[in-house]
Structure 1
């Protein structure tokens, strides 16, 4: 095994960069968990996918999308919707999927004035 020596200043700079990377990774993991646990309403999902609420009803009846009933209202898990799009059980143009992620970031305050913050 080789021993590598570096100056104290270089060591502290390296540790600072590693800690910065760690904070970034933790922040991204938290954002991913928030995104995966996010529920959207009929109106929101219909707007995102560019379809009518009646079409969503048909998809629910045909078991093409999963949903949750909370106090008599339908909610959809964003993670499940994205999975359905990836598995091709839901059709969506790539722009809508990109818009879905972008709008979530805007609503969660991760993007401010067009920049990620």
Structure 2
């Protein structure tokens, strides 16, 4: 059965410079997360890979968010794109990252509903 408001998953996958993962994650949760929540995202989970704070190698920090429906995702996305605090956060964060990527997805059963915006 197709949900009226599909769950859209927004996943940030960030490879952090060696020895900086714990500080980066603290900053992400303190500086970025409150604004994301205010824009309508719900924090789903935070994962650190490998599951140990590395000093001489990079950790990958993956943060998964959810939002109900494609309209809500577009709304929060547009708000973020025009928010100087968000832009400043990512500019600062990039100093601690070697790479980052964001994916947006939903379950296969929800694709038709998610694309009907």
TM-score (normalised: structure 1): 0.29
Larger Rg belongs to: 1
Higher RCO, Cα 8 Å, sep 6+: 2
